Amino acid sequence: MKFIIGIGGVTNGGKTTLTNRLLKTLPNCCVVHQDDFFKKPDQIEVGEDGFRQWDVITALDMEAMINTVKGWQENPVKFARSHGVSLSPEAEEAGSEEKGIHILIVEGFLIYNYKPLIDVYDKCFYISIPYEECKRRRSTRTYTVPDPAGLFDGHVWPMYLKHRKEMEDNCDRIEYLDGMTSKEEIYNKVYETINNSLLNSL
């Protein structure tokens, strides 16, 4: 049985923290991080706002991302092995996806803004935090390409609001999570929801 979970959310909302925790506790679980599909800096256009357009879907190689997800769908055992994920003895013995549960987490800030990807999720989660907290967290992070002055207010937040509206129009299956609650609380809620879904699917 294959099960795909989307974990989306605003920048610095806690997506990766939640994903890493789930990876440790869910069986035969792999992950695809949207951030791994950013194009090279010289391929990122400068927009009308004067900033390089990192926070839009065209900054990402979404075709490569979809192909990676398809690779998992075609053979989750092979995918897990090639990504160094240890499988349960049951899954190892089976040598194919016939036995046991295989889970894929797709994690990123625009995972519900690309139609071909929306259709693959069995469960959708989205973490949001308010403007002030998001700006504070963002300012404490170090990026490979550092944020130029004014990027958050001039590009990051306006794009978040635009894409959030787009996402709400495109996908009505999202369960929203409050990123201001404790990491423990968010994890427990998501873990329980996933477990219940898996039990209902068996």
Domain range annotation of the chain:
2-200
> Which structure tokens are listed for 48?
């009308």
Q: Which of 1, 2, 6, 11 is nearest to 119 (CA)?
A: 6
114 pLDDT higher than 80: yes
pLDDT tier at 168, thresholds 50, 70, 90 = very high
Residue 87: per-residue pLDDT: 83
Contact 127, 10 (CB under 8 A): yes
> Which structure tokens are listed for 123?
């469960």
CATH of domain 2-200: 3.40.50.300
In the chain, the percentage of residues whose pLDDT exceeds 90 is 74
Q: What is the mean pLDDT of residues 53-66?
A: 93
Higher pLDDT, 51 or 97: 51
Residue 99: per-residue pLDDT: 67
8 pLDDT higher than 60: yes
The angle subtended at Cα 121 by Cα 116 and Cα 123, nearest 5°, is 150
Query: Could you tell me which residues are beta bridge partners of residue 46?
Result: 52
Residue 107: per-residue pLDDT: 98
> What is the spatial distance between Cα 37 and Cα 25, in angstroms, rounded to a whole number?
25
91 pLDDT higher than 90: no
Q: What is the mean pLDDT of residues 97-123?
A: 90
Is position 42 annotated as part of the catalytic site?
A: no
Mean pLDDT of the chain: 92
Query: Could you tell me which residues are beta bridge partners of residue 3?
Result: 103
